[in-house]
């Protein structure tokens, strides 16, 4: 009797535990239609500072009760923002090219003044970390599913996601039944090794020839990419809060591609400590994330996804960059061609670069801080100018000395 009672009790606890797991939300657009559906589980591990220069680990999970204030939807860019606790939020930015969508970045903000989660914290600020999830190349009108655990590491924070079911661009006001599974959920097939048995031929082979190795045609040199002009406005009636001009070339595993600004969709956001510029062309989506420490800004994260001309999908991200740094209230400029190693597979080339993600006034660039390469361009003409000036002074000095000696000779002859 007690055994059966204990079994029933365990089952009851299991049902309650299962029902308590997972966070399920829907986001509706301005027409009150569902545009984002999500059901997922997230655990957080945050290393934070306590007294005497010591650190402590806080472990907590995304609760079932959240709000979606701050979530947005449109045809090309959507944001799922989940607010919980005392000032914590977890958001995912999605972009779509009309046929497929992907998650660009995950932004997690946590309030260190929340004593329930962060007891004895010596810092009372709200910290933010950015990470790149593996939610890429999902067909529109399908749900992304991943039961396997995925851990995202950024700064002092680990985020573990599992039992994820998300549809970012919902149509027909209902979640799709079609599923795109993550790679970790797809069982791998192992091909059994084969044993080759070689027997000696009874007669020698005749008329054999060795085909010459294929030749690889040389890769044509690409022209200088066209420079595009991009801007982000808080709303239609405001001036730009983020502006950028540049030409881009992508080198992915030795395959070079110019980014074409014509027909590119521009989206993003402006914030106090973080701003974002998202460029979506026919072949790729590039997300630039800028950070602001109140004194200087920099390019903090870069994410590029898309397909090569051969149709091969790619996704490269680096969330620990420190590029294009300048004082807040000024712009960063580098006209000379520059290249940056973003990942082991990705190199980014910039041309005629000028960017200002914070402190834009009247929608125009502020005074520019030139990059070192541009500054070096001025050294040569300055050095030449100084050399010419010294040469002129030497000639004039020699002239006056010679003239003085001639005058002295004339007096002596008299």
Q: In this predicted model, what pLDDT tens digit does every residue of 51-74 receive, in sequence order?
A: 988 889 999 999 999 999 999 998
Q: Is the pLDDT of residue 226 over 90?
A: yes
pTM of the model: 0.48
**Arithmetic mean of pLDDT over the chain:** 83
Token couple for 6: 């204990």
- Bigger pLDDT: 149 or 412? 149
Strands 179-181 and 143-146: parallel
Q: Is the pLDDT of residue 170 over 50?
A: yes
With contact defined as beta carbons under 8 Å apart, do 101 and 80 qualify?
A: no
Question: Among 25-34, 191-200, 210-219, 371-380, whose mean pLDDT is lowest?
Answer: 191-200
All structural domains of the chain:
20-185 (2.40.160.110), 228-375 (2.40.160.110)
Indicate the pLDDT class of residue 168, thresholds 50, 70 and 90.
very high
Q: Tell me the Ramachandran region of residue 97: left when phi exceeds 0, alpha when psi lies from -120 to 50, beta otherwise.
A: alpha
Q: Is the pLDDT of residue 270 over 50?
A: yes
With contact defined as beta carbons under 8 Å apart, do 342 and 316 qualify?
A: yes
Q: What is the pLDDT of residue 402?
A: 75
Indicate the pLDDT class of residue 19, thresholds 50, 70 and 90.
very low
CA 127/CA 112 separation, integer angstroms: 7
Q: How many other β-carbons are positioned within 10 Å of the β-carbon of residue 61?
A: 13
124 φ, ψ (degrees, to nearest 5): -110, 10
Indicate the pLDDT class of residue 312, thresholds 50, 70 and 90.
confident
Q: Tell me the Ramachandran region of residue 392: left when phi exceeds 0, alpha when psi lies from -120 to 50, beta otherwise.
A: alpha
pLDDT tens-digit series, residues 84-143: 999 999 999 999 998 999 999 999 999 999 999 999 999 999 999 998 888 888 999 999
Q: What is the pLDDT of residue 383?
A: 63
Where do the DSSP E strands lie in 155-221?
157-167, 179-181
Residue 278 exposure: Cα atoms within 13 Å on the Cβ side: 21
Question: Among 150-159, 248-257, 297-306, 380-389, whose mean pLDDT is lowest?
Answer: 380-389
Q: What is the pLDDT of residue 414?
A: 52
Q: Tell me the Ramachandran region of residue 185: left when phi exceeds 0, alpha when psi lies from -120 to 50, beta otherwise.
A: alpha
Q: What is the pLDDT of residue 210?
A: 46
395 φ, ψ (degrees, to nearest 5): -60, -45
CA 9/CA 6 separation, integer angstroms: 5
Q: Is the pLDDT of residue 243 over 70?
A: yes
By residue count, the chain amounts to: 414
């Amino acid at each position: 009797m007690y055994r059966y009672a204990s079994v029933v009790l365990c089952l009851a606890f299991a049902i309650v535990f299962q029902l308590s797991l997972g966070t399920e939300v829907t986001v509706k657009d301005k027409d009150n239609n569902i545009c984002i559906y999500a059901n997922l589980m997230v655990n957080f591990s945050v290393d934070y500072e306590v007294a005497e220069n010591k650190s402590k680990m806080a472990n907590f999970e995304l609760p079932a009760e959240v709000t979606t204030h701050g979530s947005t939807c449109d045809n090309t860019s959507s944001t799922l923002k989940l607010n919980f606790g005392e000032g914590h939020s977890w958001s995912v930015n999605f972009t779509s090219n009309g046929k497929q969508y992907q998650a660009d970045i995950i932004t997690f903000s946590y309030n260190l003044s929340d004593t329930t989660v962060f007891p004895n914290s010596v810092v009372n600020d709200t910290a933010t970390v950015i990470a790149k999830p593996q939610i890429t190349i999902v067909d529109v009108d399908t749900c992304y599913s991943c039961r396997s655990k995925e851990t995202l590491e950024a700064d002092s924070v680990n985020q573990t996601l599992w039992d994820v079911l998300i549809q970012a661009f919902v149509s027909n006001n209902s979640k799709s039944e079609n599923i795109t599974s993550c790679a970790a959920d797809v069982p791998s097939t192992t091909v059994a090794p084969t044993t080759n048995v070689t027997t000696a031929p009874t007669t020698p082979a005749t008329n054999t020839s060795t085909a010459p190795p294929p030749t690889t045609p040389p890769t044509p040199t690409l022209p200088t990419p066209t420079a595009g002009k991009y801007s982000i406005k808080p709303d239609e009636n405001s001036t730009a809060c983020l502006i950028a001009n540049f030409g881009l070339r992508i080198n992915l595993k030795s395959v070079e591609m110019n980014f074409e600004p014509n027909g590119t969709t521009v989206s993003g956001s402006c914030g106090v400590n973080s701003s974002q510029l998202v460029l979506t062309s026919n072949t790729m989506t590039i997300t630039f994330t800028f950070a602001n420490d109140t004194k200087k800004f920099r390019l903090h994260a870069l994410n590029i996804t898309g397909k090569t001309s051969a149709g091969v999908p790619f996704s490269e991200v680096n969330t620990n960059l420190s590029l294009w740094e300048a004082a807040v209230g000024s712009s960063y400029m580098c006209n000379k061609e520059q290249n940056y190693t973003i990942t082991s597979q990705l190199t980014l080339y910039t041309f005629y670069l000028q960017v200002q993600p914070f402190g834009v006034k009247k929608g125009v660039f502020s005074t520019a801080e030139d990059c070192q390469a541009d500054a070096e361009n001025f050294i040569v003409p300055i050095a030449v100018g100084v050399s010419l000036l010294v040469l002129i002074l030497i000639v004039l000095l020699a002239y006056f000395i010679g003239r003085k000696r001639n005058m002295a000779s004339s007096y002596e002859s008299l």
